[in-house]
DNA sequence: GTAGCTGCAAACTCTTTGCAACTCT
DNA sequence: AGAGTTGCAAAGAGTTTGCAGCTAC
């Protein structure tokens, strides 16, 4: 798998220090960081970086389909570095986001769309829940 | 089924002219109007109404669980006057929103949540598609 | 009479953008 | 050298709020 940096360079983008920093952060992100989170991590590596650059870089990457903008029920966006189709379970107590996929679900969704007379182009399933405490 | 106005009055809210106007609009809405849309319809009936009142009324109704705030992939919120659990198929060509429900889907979602170790408290499924042109 | 509601305008949050300076290629 | 990129600050969109006056109860 090519790194984000390689893909961006191959697409003809100039690899500035700021971009390398942001790409590295996204490459290593194991969560679904908000713009502010990316900015905070970027600033820790390069204090001169501005939030405008973070916004511009994230928009650019989204347009290139290297990352996905997600809008959960929050007032701000988060970015998903996993571009494979999947869904989310959002832990209402911790804010943690768990990714999952399920073939049966895909099948039913296609079936429902078809029954409604639609070609399914995109969709999102976000589940909100609370971790079940298992007895020790 | 009690009207929104009845429910609000019973909850102890003062039934001002502005509120009655907004409740009537919501009662009659067959779409998923944005705040601006509710405001425009309200203004047509009572030109003195302010958008602040629309925002305040919609927030209030949402808190009372009489309407649901929806955030599709747009930069603004829409309100859903159907509080029964259901999902959405959004027509990417017209913006039209179709509601549906499906028992098999519900069953699978509960199963997935359980397998992930979660109690499912809420969820949303939004499908985006294009109408299939049926041959004439 | 008074608690609750309203319109107005200012403020707030998140995001985008114009511009002059700078930097990869 | 030159197009692309940056930081800054201002602007924009959507939403919330403080306040003085008003109104349903």
Residues A32, A71 share a domain? yes
User: Domain boundary residue among B81, B99, B114?
Assistant: B81
Q: Read out DSSP for B40-60?
A: HHHHHH-TT--HHHHHHHHHH
B136 pLDDT band, cuts 50/70/90, is low
Q: Angle at Cα B10 formed by Cα B6 and Cα B11, nearest 5°?
A: 120
**Residue B35 forms part of a structural domain:** yes
Q: What is the pLDDT of residue A1?
A: 75
Q: Tell me, yes or no, whether B63 and B125 share the same domain.
A: no
For the segment B101-113, what is each residue's pLDDT rounded down to a tens digit?
A: 999 999 999 999 9
Classify the C-alpha dihedral A70-A71-A72-A76 as positive or negative. positive
Q: Does A32 have pLDDT greater than 80?
A: yes
Strands A118-131, B78-80: pairing is: unpaired
Whether B1 shows a pLDDT value over 80: the answer reads no
Cβ contacts below 8 Å, chain A against chain B, sum to 107
Token pair listed for B132: 């299939």
Q: Which residues contact A65 (CB under 8 A, 6 or more apart)?
A: A83
Chain A residue with Cα closest to B76: A75
Whether A61 shows a pLDDT value over 80: the answer reads yes
Mean pLDDT score of chain B: 90
**Residue B133, phi then psi, degrees to nearest 5:** -75, 115
Q: Are the beta carbons of A129 and A89 closer than 8 angstroms?
A: yes
Please name the residue that has the structure tokens 């009207």: B3
Give the count of domains, chain A: 2
Specify whether B77 is located in the same domain as B34: yes
Structural domain includes residue A25: yes
CB of A117 less than 8 A from some CB of B: yes
Sign of the C-alpha dihedral computed for residues A69, A74, A76 and A80 taken in this order:
negative
On whether both A54 and A107 belong to a single domain, the answer is no
Banded model confidence at residue B135, pLDDT cuts 50, 70, 90:
low
Task: Determine the distance between B78 (CA) and D8 (C1') in angstroms.
Answer: 35
Spacing of B131 CA from D16 C1' in Å:
38
Considering only CA atoms, name the residue closest to the C1' of nucleotide C13. Answer: A75
Give residues 66 to 95 of B whose Cβ lies within 8 Å of A.
71, 73, 89, 91-92
Q: What is the pLDDT of residues B22-51, one digit of tens each?
A: 999 999 998 899 999 999 999 999 999 999
Q: Does residue B95 share a domain with residue B58?
A: no
- Strand order across the B118-131 sheet: A97-100, A87-91, A118-131, B118-131, B87-91, B97-100
Q: What is the pLDDT of residues A33-58, one digit of tens each?
A: 999 999 999 999 999 999 999 999 99
Give B120's contacts in chain A (Cβ within 8 Å).
127-129
Tokens of B130: 């294009």
pLDDT band at A132 (very low <50, low <70, confident <90, very high): confident
Interval B77-91 mean pLDDT = 89
Domain boundary among A42, A65, A81: A81
Residue A52 CA distance to nucleotide D11 C1' (Å): 14
Answer whether B105 sits within 8 Å of A120, measured CB to CB. no
A46 — contact with chain B (CB < 8 Å)?
no
**Tokens matching residue B39:** 């405001």
Say if residue A60's pLDDT is above 90.
Answer: yes
Same domain, A68 and A119: no
C-alpha distances (whole Å) from A70 to each of A9, A85, A126, B105 are: 25, 13, 10, 22
Which residues span the domain enclosing B104? 87-129
Note whether A113 contacts B89, CB cutoff 8 Å: yes
Which of A93, A133, A32 lies closest to B117 in space, CA to CA?
A133
Domain identity same for B19 and B72:
yes
Give me the mean pLDDT over the A112-116 stretch: 91
């Amino acid at each position: 798998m090519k790194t984000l940096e390689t893909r961006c360079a191959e697409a003809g983008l100039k690899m500035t220090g700021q971009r390398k920093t942001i790409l590295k952060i996204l490459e290593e992100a194991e969560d679904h960081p908000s713009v502010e989170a990316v900015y905070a991590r970027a600033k820790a590596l390069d204090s001169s970086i501005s939030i405008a650059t973070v916004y511009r870089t994230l928009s650019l990457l989204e347009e290139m389909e290297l990352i996905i903008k997600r809008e959960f029920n929050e007032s701000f966006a988060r970015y998903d570095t996993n571009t494979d189709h999947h869904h989310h379970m959002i832990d209402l107590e911790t804010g943690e986001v768990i990714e999952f996929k399920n073939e049966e679900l895909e099948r039913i969704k296609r079936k429902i769309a078809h029954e409604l007379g639609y070609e399914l182009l995109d969709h999102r399933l976000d589940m909100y829940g609370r971790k079940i405490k298992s007895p020790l």
